[in-house]
Structure 1
Amino acid sequence: MADTIVDDRAVFTGFDSLTYAPRGIEITLPNSSEKHYIPDVLEELKPKVGMTFDNMDQAFAYYCNYAAASGFGVRKEDMHFLASSRKLTQLQKHMIQSMAKINIGPVRAFNVMRTIFGGFEEVGVSKNDCKNFKREINLFINEYDAEMMVGNLMKKKEHLPDFSCEYFTDEENCLVGLFWSDGESKRNYQVFGDIMSFDATYRSNRYSMVFVPFTGIDNHNNNVSFGAALLASETTETYKWLLRCFLKAFVKQPDVVVTDQDPAMKKAIEDVFSGSRHRLCMWHVMHKLSTKVGVTLCNTTDFKQRICDIVWTDSLSPSEFEVGWHSVIQDFDLSDNNWLGDIYDMRESWIPAYYRDELMSGLMRTTSRSESENHFFGQVCNVRSTLLEFLTHFETAIESQRHNQRKNDHDTRYTRPQLKTDFVLEKQASQIYTKTLFLDVQVEIVGIEKCINVKLENIDGFTKFFIKDFDQLCNSYFEVMYRPEDTTIHCSCRRASELNGTCKYNKRPVRVPVGYKSKGSGVHNKRIKSKQEEAIVKAGKKSRQCQNCKEYGHYASTCSKPPKKTGVNTKEKTFDTMSADS
């Protein structure tokens, strides 16, 4: 233990006995306004790295002597409350900035550090210190927020060949529009870009700029982002500029564009995406139902259920939808409701009955998908965040989305779903579809057991069947047209075309085109395995073992070595020998 030396100038006599004046010098670090105090004490009093003590009391007493000689006091337990004792370390600053990437604020970051470090006093700072640090950063970037964000994206455009970024400003050089997309987004668009959602309902930052994500559906039936934009205004000209930037980056137009009911957006799509079909998002339309019609009517009657039954379905024909709509309107005396009249007039743009033959990938027809997208981008948007913070949140969210996509690819490639029937069709479908899509197809295949079909007649090369589904009403049936020449199938429920030929009213197996060979295809219904899968199967497969020579690869009947005598024969020989000796 080191010797305790007490300076004659100041002797520690208790926790509250003296009020000290600092003895030493103050220095200011270069490029900083922080001041540091260096005590002027004897060298023997200064604590040194490597000093050891028998217990905490001796260590505390030694430090108290050093503090008294230096001109400051020491108190147990509450020193961490003093401003001079609170200072964010580089690790803590890094943690606050890293947590901000996933939209965790400074107060929540402090609570995380408190848990990790083992208590409030172990953190060494207060919640206000964390908030002040975050505020100082925001004050620093506030004036240059847009400039720093644009500079960040333009630098990526300069160094990444597949990265696209376009922006424009007004007369005062204020940012009006910003669009960006990276290489992986472009590759996703080439594969999944036939149908695209174009949404402008998110307020993303403190400047009230509108966040506009471009979204599609991947082969796992999940949302996939193609690009994003920030707009300061929602005029037709702004949307035209944005769509031209999109067309410049992706070259081709989508087949179908799904948007909300913004008239400026509709006009821009007609002018720029002239080759695309424009549809309205059903979720955005029906989301307003309670507000426009009345909460009481929706919650106390079956009005909402009845209107949803004829809207959220693609099994009705246009005439059947119109009959059902007028029936609901008359029963609840809503013929004077202007909003219901307006959405009925534009029914061809959002009711599935009017575009049953179009492949929409479920982009318009499921509330869960729209709510999932709304939640996903809602986590990105924060009305108090700066543009740089928003960009960080967006990049973190996209990274998570792509991780999930790779995870789904892995699960499809290396796991097999559980089969529920003995149909060869189900087994073949499990080898062709991705795991997520197969679960949808499996529902249709399982439903085959509840259907009966009757061959009716031949019409222009097609065989006409009537299919009765015993889960449906007694007087309902489905009509299926089948042409044997090219296995073309038309079903009145339209599920066959939506699922590439598979619905429970159509028992024909789904096959890939002739001449195309992939991991999911092959002869004799055998799936082509990768080298890794073959190694796994080989490692876990029990090989043949010869009971004669104990080697692998053949049986005893085909063994080239002379047969060995068994233990029974050996015992008999030993017994005979013993008998002869006796």
Structure 2
Amino acid sequence: MRHGGKKKDSESTQIERERGNVCENCKAKLTVVYDGFNFVVQTFIEEHTHPLATPSRVHLLRSHRGVSDTKIKLVKKFSNVNIPLYQQFELLETQAGGHESVGFIERDLRNFERDEREKIKGRDAEMLYEYFKSEEDKDSDFFFKFETDNNNRMTRCFWVDSVARKAYTHFGDVVVFDTTYNTNRYAMIFSPLVGVNHHGQTTIFGCGFLSNETFDSFVWLLETWLEAMKIAPTVIITDQDQAMTKAIAQVLPNTFHRYCVWYILNKFQEKMGYFAHHNYYALFKTAIWESETVEEFEKSWYEALEISQPSSKEWFEEMYKLRGTWIPTYVKQYFSAGMSSSQRAESMHAFFKRYCSKSNSLMDFVTRFNRALAHLRHEELVADHGD
């Protein structure tokens, strides 16, 4: 308890958080002075004006709590592997032999992480830029580009290392491009470009952060990526985002743009209606996946339409007009590395979200991304070794 009493401002209208009284005007104290030769007790008043903390509560006193440097290092390692804070504290409790032996409480840990976030507040993009510059110094083939607005806030960035650029020269015929949310606290849109290697494993061809999904943003990202890679892919697979479609047509005019089959099929129930989907969806699946010729597909497609009478005929007419971009029998002349949809990118997003969360700073995200990327590349090494 503190010496002195708590002052009250009767004129204040500010609502304060309820908290325990830590000022008891207690006179108990111990004063020690150094007389030039020894430390000497100058004052000792033993009597307290309040009950003392019981042994079971001593570890809760602020004077007895503190996150040590050793614990800080351990907590940072836990955070690097995306262990939630409450589980971090449970691990520390287990290691210490009980919560009373940890040295602090869970709130102290939350306050520490809050203070760490405050340290980089307003400097996150600057730190990321400095990190990319240091990577560029270490790796002459590391490539990155930043773009900022009038307030010097990052709006777009792209990066790719030498390993990914080399992989692209071998496996870059087919690229899957998709975006995802909830990977960082600024709601920047994570935009990886991925493909498959000689083991059928996912490989990364570069990544970007975008502040929005507009035509201009996609043009910037694709042009920057092409600047790094030099050669355009033969095929690119995406969903049906219109801004992305227009950007690809402008930046990659000689690349065949294939739409994701999985993305389109997922809309069938909505566009058919529940009853029609339940009873006749199998007819469309047969037409899409089992037709070996264009004529066979068209015959099966029209029969399925005639029988099912879907609720949104306009959408099915639009999908039929676009059949040359997503129906297997129309696109089979293009090498697609066994990929017919952007599910490769979707599974990649799910993989990265095991390492990242929407509370990450940009620098946190890239640190965790690099660890996930190292895992992917080690899996390729293991497969190579098995060969």
TM-score normalised by length of structure 2? 0.83
Question: Following superposition of structure 1 onto structure 2, how do residues 38-77 of structure 1 map, counting pairs within 5 Å?
Answer: 75-77=54-56
Counterpart of 1:341 (choices 282, 296, 317) is 317
CA 1:316–1:125: 2 relative to 1, 3 Å: farther
Q: Give how far 1:166 is off.
A: 0.3
Q: Give how far 1:296 is off.
A: 5.6
CA 1:223–1:328: 2 relative to 1, 3 Å: same
CA 1:305–1:23: 2 relative to 1, 3 Å: farther
Equivalent pair of 2:355/2:372 in contact (CA under 8 Å): yes
* 3-state DSSP of counterpart to 1:23: strand
CA RMSD of aligned residues (A): 2.9
* 3-state DSSP of counterpart to 1:172: coil
Map Cα deviations across residues 373-415 of structure 1 (whole Å, 9 max, x no partner): 2411333553332212221221121111112111222222xxx
Is 1:275 paired with 2:254?
Answer: yes
* 3-state DSSP of counterpart to 2:55: coil
Distance in structure 2 (CA, Å) of the matches to 1:370 and 1:173: 31
* 3-state DSSP of counterpart to 1:78: helix
Q: Give how far 1:288 is off.
A: 2.9
Is 1:361 paired with 2:337?
Answer: yes
CA 1:129–1:371: 2 relative to 1, 3 Å: same
1:434 corresponding residue in structure 2: none
Distance in structure 1 (CA, Å) of the matches to 2:102 and 2:282: 54
Distance in structure 2 (CA, Å) of the matches to 1:191 and 1:25: 74
Map Cα deviations across residues 169-210 of structure 1 (whole Å, 9 max, x no partner): 122212111000111111111111111111123343222211
Distance in structure 2 (CA, Å) of the matches to 1:136 and 1:373: 32
Aligned positions, number: 354
Map Cα deviations across residues 437-486 of structure 1 (whole Å, 9 max, x no partner): xxxxxxxxxxxxxxxxxxxxxxxxxxxxxxxxxxxxxxxxxxxxxxxxxx
Instruction: For 1:95, give the aligned amino acid.
Output: L
Instruction: For 1:119, give the aligned amino acid.
Output: G
Distance in structure 1 (CA, Å) of the matches to 2:151 and 2:342: 43
Equivalent pair of 2:179/2:191 in contact (CA under 8 Å): yes
Is 1:96 paired with 2:72?
Answer: no
Counterpart of 1:169 (choices 148, 165, 171) is 148
Distance in structure 1 (CA, Å) of the matches to 2:32 and 2:184: 46
Q: Which 5+ residue runs of structure 2 have no aligned equivalent?
A: 1-25, 34-38
Is 1:126 paired with 2:109?
Answer: no
Instruction: For 2:193, give the aligned amino acid.
Output: F
Question: Following superposition of structure 1 onto structure 2, how do residues 558-577 of structure 1 map, counting pairs within 5 Å?
Answer: none
Identity, % of aligned pairs?
30
* 3-state DSSP of counterpart to 2:158: strand
1:396 corresponding residue in structure 2: 371
Map Cα deviations across residues 206-235 of structure 1 (whole Å, 9 max, x no partner): 222111001000111111111100011222
1:323 corresponding residue in structure 2: 299
2:18 corresponding residue in structure 1: none
1:379 corresponding residue in structure 2: 354
Distance in structure 2 (CA, Å) of the matches to 1:351 and 1:149: 42
Distance in structure 2 (CA, Å) of the matches to 1:128 and 1:205: 23
Map Cα deviations across residues 106-144 of structure 1 (whole Å, 9 max, x no partner): 222112222233222222222211111111111121211
Equivalent pair of 1:310/1:316 in contact (CA under 8 Å): no
Instruction: For 1:350, give the aligned amino acid.
Output: W
Distance in structure 2 (CA, Å) of the matches to 1:261 and 1:274: 17
* 3-state DSSP of counterpart to 1:322: helix
Larger Rg: 1
1:520 corresponding residue in structure 2: none
2:164 corresponding residue in structure 1: 185
Equivalent pair of 1:205/1:382 in contact (CA under 8 Å): yes
Q: Which moved more, 1:117-126 or 1:245-254?
A: 117-126
2:173 corresponding residue in structure 1: 194
2:308 corresponding residue in structure 1: 332
Question: Following superposition of structure 1 onto structure 2, how do residues 518-533 of structure 1 map, counting pairs within 5 Å?
Answer: none
Instruction: For 1:345, give the aligned amino acid.
Output: K
Q: Give how far 1:366 is off.
A: 8.5
Instruction: For 2:210, give the aligned amino acid.
Output: L
Equivalent pair of 2:184/2:358 in contact (CA under 8 Å): yes
Distance in structure 2 (CA, Å) of the matches to 1:278 and 1:398: 27
Instruction: For 1:289, give the aligned amino acid.
Output: F
Q: Which 5+ residue runs of structure 1 have no aligned equivalent?
A: 1-18, 27-39, 43-65, 413-582
Equivalent pair of 1:202/1:210 in contact (CA under 8 Å): yes
Distance in structure 2 (CA, Å) of the matches to 1:21 and 1:340: 84
Counterpart of 1:406 (choices 354, 374, 381) is 381
TM-score normalised by length of structure 1? 0.56
Instruction: For 2:368, give the aligned amino acid.
Output: H
CA 1:348–1:150: 2 relative to 1, 3 Å: same
CA 1:354–1:120: 2 relative to 1, 3 Å: same
1:306 corresponding residue in structure 2: 283
Map Cα deviations across residues 343-377 of structure 1 (whole Å, 9 max, x no partner): 2221111111101122211222585x455224113
Distance in structure 1 (CA, Å) of the matches to 2:171 and 2:96: 46
CA 1:337–1:128: 2 relative to 1, 3 Å: farther
CA 1:200–1:74: 2 relative to 1, 3 Å: closer
* 3-state DSSP of counterpart to 1:176: strand
Instruction: For 2:362, give the aligned amino acid.
Output: L
Counterpart of 1:111 (choices 90, 93, 116) is 90
CA 1:151–1:324: 2 relative to 1, 3 Å: same
CA 1:91–1:392: 2 relative to 1, 3 Å: same
Distance in structure 2 (CA, Å) of the matches to 1:276 and 1:258: 10
Instruction: For 2:335, give the aligned amino acid.
Output: L
2:28 corresponding residue in structure 1: 21
Distance in structure 2 (CA, Å) of the matches to 1:371 and 1:199: 8
Equivalent pair of 1:314/1:356 in contact (CA under 8 Å): no
Equivalent pair of 1:114/1:122 in contact (CA under 8 Å): yes
Equivalent pair of 2:158/2:224 in contact (CA under 8 Å): yes
